Amino acid sequence: MKIICVGRNYVDHALELKNEIPDKPVIFLKPDTALLKDNRPFFLPPWSTEVHHEAEIVLKIAKNGKFIAEKFAHEYVSHFTLGIDFTERNLQSELKAKGLPWELAKSFDHSAVIGNWIPLSNNTDLKNLDFYLEKNNQKVQEGNTSLMLFPYDKLISFISNYFTLKTGDLIYTGTPKGVGPVNINDHLTGFIGNEEVLNFRVK
């Protein structure tokens, strides 16, 4: 199983970090050891200085595929949820400044949180999902997938030109603005529409 992540997929977030608006998807990977599920607590890594939450819609891949056409992309999604792409922002800034890969800042243990899965149904419109994240009962991030620079079908098609997608792979589709630090004892809750899918603590 692999975890594929998309960076800078919402204009307002790309601009808050003073990044350029990309002309094709920005892609990076996390290993399976990054996964954190079942609302288990997230322990701040001892070496970290500023870990940011990035709330993102996560797609679960339904079946194997390569060179997937956009019009068939929906057939490759079985479930979706909200997840957190935890990012060590100081380390990422340091690596970015040197033109180095981001993995140490992005792909560490438990940096990929996933909420409870919602099965894709005929009424699901993956291009119009409202979602938000609360930290200690205050809304800190909210978005709608219609605001993605590259919607899910373009992402699946693009990614599958480079990586064979396999059943159970995950795609983190990018975060809207409002990313910020988490601290010990913070309580994070995530919602799609009004359904709570994520509820865990930082330790």
Rounded Cα–Cα distance for residues 59 and 19 (Å)? 25
CB atoms within 10 A of CB 167: 13
Q: Give the pair of three-digit tokens for residue 172.
A: 């983190």
Q: Decide: is 88 part of the binding site for Mg ion (CB under 5 A).
A: no
Rounded Cα–Cα distance for residues 116 and 198 (Å)? 7
Do residues 125 and 57 lie in contact, with contact meaning Cβ atoms separated by under 8 Å?
A: no
Angle at 74 between CA 194 and CA 177, to 5 degrees: 45
Minimum distance of Mg ion from residue 181's CB (angstroms):
15
The residue (of 65 and 192) whose beta carbon lies closer to Mg ion is 192
The residue within the footprint of Mg ion, chosen from 81, 111, 157, 175 (CB under 5 A), is: 175
Q: Which stretch binds Mg ion (CB under 5 A): 30-38, 82-90, 125-133, 179-187?
A: 82-90
The residue (of 54 and 88) whose beta carbon lies closer to Mg ion is 54
Q: Which stretch binds Mg ion (CB under 5 A): 9-17, 20-28, 60-68, 171-179?
A: 171-179
Q: Decide: is 173 part of the binding site for Mg ion (CB under 5 A).
A: no
Sheet holding 51-53, edge to edge: 87-88, 51-53, 180-181
- Binding pattern for the stretch 19-58 against Mg ion, x by CB under 5 A and - elsewhere: -----------------------------------x----
- Kindly list the residues in this chain that would bind Mg ion in the complex (CB under 5 A): 54, 85, 175
